[in-house]
């Protein structure tokens, strides 16, 4: 057996290099600086709101404003939880926000499934109407909606705050776009097995719509939880007030505004939404990316 002879490389040949895993695309450093600056601008107001909620009223009004509270006090939270009927306002906000969110998850997904996978006369016209309503400001329909709610006897009731918002055009569009990306073979296989449309929707479609449902749920809950104008008009007695309405009426007076109480209430209003977003952020990002609205 002879040793393998190594042939020298010619001038036109180059030694082969092992493949590398570096794609060659590197994020520029200035982009990190821009993103860090944007994050700073977004986070700073919330941090200042949280710290200022523990300041006395005189320090909140101080000019120039202080960043860290010189005197830490819980008086604002004591007023919020003890002197105001906080449990009633909180429960009203939870009932309205949860009911509106559940209604949108159910009805918007049903409408989205019908517009995406079913065939019926006027389907394209109905979808065009949904897209058209997205361009109509809510203020335009505010007065007719209030008149209709009053004639139905739903004024000064939680149902009057919930019923007009059980299905939103944005939710229908979001679910329709997501369900359109699901393969038709799954639905056809379920129909061959004898499943009806309700069974297909509940057993096949909904389990695959987790990212879209999470996105729709957090956006709907956020909008309903922070809704101020509609509950302000519909609620006519204190036992029907929601948190934003109660804070506006008690913290913002005719002669002076209690900024400390307003900041403490804002912290309480923001906290539930922040917790929900932290738990669902992965599904929210995935839902936005997969529905083509990024």
Domain-embedded: residue 17:
no
The total of structural domains in the chain comes to 1
Q: Which of 211, 215, 220, 222 is nearest to 269 (CA)?
A: 222
Residue 76 in domain: no
Q: What is the structure's pLDDT at 96?
A: 94
223-232 pLDDT, tens digit each:
898 888 899 8
- Asked whether residue 276 is domain-assigned, the answer is yes
For residue 167, is it within any domain? Answer: yes
The reported pTM is: 0.76
Name the pLDDT band for 283 (thresholds 50, 70, 90): low
Task: Answer whether residue 62 is part of any domain.
Answer: no
The answer to whether residue 197 is domain-embedded is: yes
Q: Supply the range of the domain harboring residue 201.
A: 91-226+272-290
pLDDT, tens digit, 9 for 90 and up, residues 237-271: 888 889 888 888 776 665 667 888 888 888 888 88
- Give the chain's mean pLDDT: 82
Query: 3-state SS of the chain: helix, strand, coil percent to 5?
Result: 65, 0, 30
Radius of gyration of the chain (CA): 28
Task: Tell me the CATH number at 179.
Answer: 1.10.3720.10
In 3D space, the residue among 18, 187, 206 whose CA is nearest the CA of residue 107 turns out to be 206
Contact 171, 158 (CB under 8 A): no
Distance CA 71, CA 55 (A): 6
> Residue 21: pLDDT above 80?
no
């Amino acid at each position: 057996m002879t040793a393998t002879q190594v042939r020298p490389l010619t001038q036109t040949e180059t030694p082969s290099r092992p493949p590398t895993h570096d794609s060659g695309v590197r994020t520029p450093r200035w982009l990190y600086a821009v993103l860090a600056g944007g994050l700073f601008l977004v986070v700073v107001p919330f941090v200042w709101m949280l710290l200022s909620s523990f300041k006395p009223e005189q320090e909140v009004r101080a000019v120039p404003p202080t960043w860290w509270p010189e005197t830490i006090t819980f008086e604002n939270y004591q007023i919020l939880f003890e002197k105001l009927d906080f449990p009633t306002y909180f429960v009203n906000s939870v009932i309205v926000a949860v009911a509106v969110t559940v209604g949108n998850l159910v009805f918007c997904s049903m409408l989205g499934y019908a517009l995406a996978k079913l065939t019926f006369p006027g389907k394209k016209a109905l979808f065009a109407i949904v897209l058209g309503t997205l361009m109509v400001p809510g203020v335009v329909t505010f007065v007719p909606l209030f008149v209709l709610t009053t004639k139905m006897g739903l004024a000064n009731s939680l149902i009057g705050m919930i019923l007009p918002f059980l299905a939103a055009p944005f939710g229908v569009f979001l679910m329709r776009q997501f369900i359109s990306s699901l393969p038709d073979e799954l639905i056809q296989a379920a129909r061959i097995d004898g499943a009806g449309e309700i069974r297909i929707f509940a057993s096949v479609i909904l389990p695959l719509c987790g990212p879209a449902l999470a996105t729709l749920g957090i956006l709907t809950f956020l909008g309903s939880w922070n809704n101020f104008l509609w509950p302000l008009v519909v609620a006519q007695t204190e036992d029907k007030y929601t948190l934003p309405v109660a804070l506006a009426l008690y913290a913002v007076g005719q002669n002076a505004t209690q900024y400390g109480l307003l900041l403490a209430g804002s912290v309480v209003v923001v906290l539930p939404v922040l917790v929900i977003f932290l738990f669902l952020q992965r599904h929210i990002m995935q839902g936005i990316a997969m529905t083509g609205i990024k």
